[in-house]
Structure 1
Amino acid sequence: MKKSVLFLGLIYLIFISLGLPDTILGVAWPSMNGEFQVAASSAGIIAMVISMGTIFSSFQTNRMIQKIGVGNLIVCSIFFTVIGLCGFSISQNFFFLIISALPLGLGAGAIDTAVNDYVALHYKAHHMNWLHGFWGIGATLGPIIMGFYLKNQNWRGGYLILVCLQFVLVVIVFFSRKQWKQPREIPHASEMQDSMLTLIKRPGIIFSLICFVFYVGIEACMGLWGSSFLVRVKDIPVATAAFMTSGYYASLTVGRLAAGFFTFFLSSRKILYLSELLLLGGVVVLFLGSGNFAAVGFIFTGLGSAAIFPTMLHETPERFGTKDSARIMSLQLALAYTGTTCLPPVLGFLAERFTLVIFPYLLFLFGCILLVSTITLEKKVKRHQA
Structure 2
Amino acid sequence: MKKSVLFLGLIYLIFISLGLPDSILGVAWPSMNGDFRVAASSAGIVAMVISIGTILSSFQTNRMIQKIGVGNLIVCSIFCTVIGLCGFSISQNFFFLIVSAIPLGLGAGAIDTAVNDYVALHYKAHHMNWLHGFWGIGATAGPIIMGFYLKNQNWRGGYLVLASLQFILVVIVFFSRKQWQQPRKIAHASEKQDSMITLIKRPGVIFSLICFIFYVGIEACMGLWGSSFLVRVKDIPISTAAFMTSTYYASLTVGRLAAGFITFFLSSRKLLYLSETLLIAGVVVLLFGNGNFAAIGFIFTGLGSAAIFPTMLHETPGRFGVKNSARIMSLQLALAYTGTTFLPPLLGFLAERFTLVIFPYLLFVFGCILLGSTIILEKRVKELRN
In the superposition, the TM-score normalised over structure 2's length comes to: 0.81
Offset of residue 296 of structure 1: 3.8
Residue 61 (structure 1) aligns with: 61
Cα displacement string for residues 258-313 of structure 1 (whole angstroms, at most 9, x for unaligned residues):
12333355443332222112212333444556676654433222111011112223
Q: Does 1:142 align with 2:142?
A: yes
What CA distance in whole angstroms lies between the structure 1 residues aligned with 2:55 and 2:281? 31
CA contact (8 A) 1:147 1:243 kept: no
What CA distance in whole angstroms lies between the structure 1 residues aligned with 2:61 and 2:205? 24
Offset of residue 10 of structure 1: 1.8
Note the residue ranges of structure 2 that are not aligned, 5 or more in a row.
none
Identity of aligned residues (%): 85
Cα displacement string for residues 145-180 of structure 1 (whole angstroms, at most 9, x for unaligned residues):
445556666655543432232233223333433444
Q: Which moved more, 1:356-365 or 1:297-306?
A: 356-365
What CA distance in whole angstroms lies between the structure 2 residues aligned with 1:265 and 1:2? 26
Q: Write the letter of the residue equivalent to 2:17.
A: S
CA contact (8 A) 2:88 2:97 kept: yes
SS at match of 1:57: helix
Instruction: Report matched runs for 1:312-323 at 5 Å.
Output: 312-320=312-320
Residue 376 (structure 1) aligns with: 376
Q: Write the letter of the residue equivalent to 1:22.
A: D
What CA distance in whole angstroms lies between the structure 2 residues aligned with 1:20 and 1:161? 11
CA contact (8 A) 1:44 1:348 kept: no
Residue 81 (structure 1) aligns with: 81
CA separation of 1:175/1:385 partners in 2, compared to 1, >3 Å: closer, same or farther? closer
Residue 202 (structure 1) aligns with: 202
Q: Which moved more, 1:15-24 or 1:153-162?
A: 153-162
What CA distance in whole angstroms lies between the structure 1 residues aligned with 2:284 and 2:148? 29
What CA distance in whole angstroms lies between the structure 2 residues aligned with 1:167 and 1:219? 29
SS at match of 1:23: coil
CA contact (8 A) 1:44 1:345 kept: no
Residue 362 (structure 2) aligns with: 362
Offset of residue 60 of structure 1: 2.5
Q: Does 1:103 align with 2:134?
A: no
Note the residue ranges of structure 1 that are not aligned, 5 or more in a row.
none
CA contact (8 A) 2:77 2:106 kept: yes
CA separation of 1:345/1:49 partners in 2, compared to 1, >3 Å: closer, same or farther? farther
Instruction: Report matched runs for 1:73-222 at 5 Å.
Output: 73-91=73-91, 93-147=93-147, 155-181=155-181, 186-187=188-189, 192=193, 194-222=194-222
SS at match of 1:200: helix
What CA distance in whole angstroms lies between the structure 1 residues aligned with 2:332 and 2:24? 25
> How many equivalent residue pairs?
382
CA separation of 1:344/1:159 partners in 2, compared to 1, >3 Å: closer, same or farther? farther
Cα displacement string for residues 302-342 of structure 1 (whole angstroms, at most 9, x for unaligned residues):
11101111222344455445665554434323322322232
CA separation of 1:179/1:94 partners in 2, compared to 1, >3 Å: closer, same or farther? same
What CA distance in whole angstroms lies between the structure 1 residues aligned with 2:90 and 2:353? 31
What CA distance in whole angstroms lies between the structure 2 residues aligned with 1:67 and 1:324? 16
Residue 337 (structure 1) aligns with: 337
Residue 15 (structure 1) aligns with: 15
CA contact (8 A) 1:25 1:224 kept: no
In the superposition, the TM-score normalised over structure 1's length comes to: 0.81
Q: Write the letter of the residue equivalent to 2:213.
A: V
CA separation of 1:66/1:196 partners in 2, compared to 1, >3 Å: closer, same or farther? closer
Residue 251 (structure 1) aligns with: 251
Offset of residue 138 of structure 1: 1.3
Cα displacement string for residues 36-80 of structure 1 (whole angstroms, at most 9, x for unaligned residues):
44254x444333221221122223233334444433332222122
CA contact (8 A) 1:26 1:226 kept: no
Aligned Cα root-mean-square deviation (Å): 3.6
What CA distance in whole angstroms lies between the structure 2 residues aligned with 1:232 and 1:89? 34
What CA distance in whole angstroms lies between the structure 1 residues aligned with 2:231 and 2:99? 27
CA contact (8 A) 1:26 1:227 kept: no
Offset of residue 215 of structure 1: 0.7
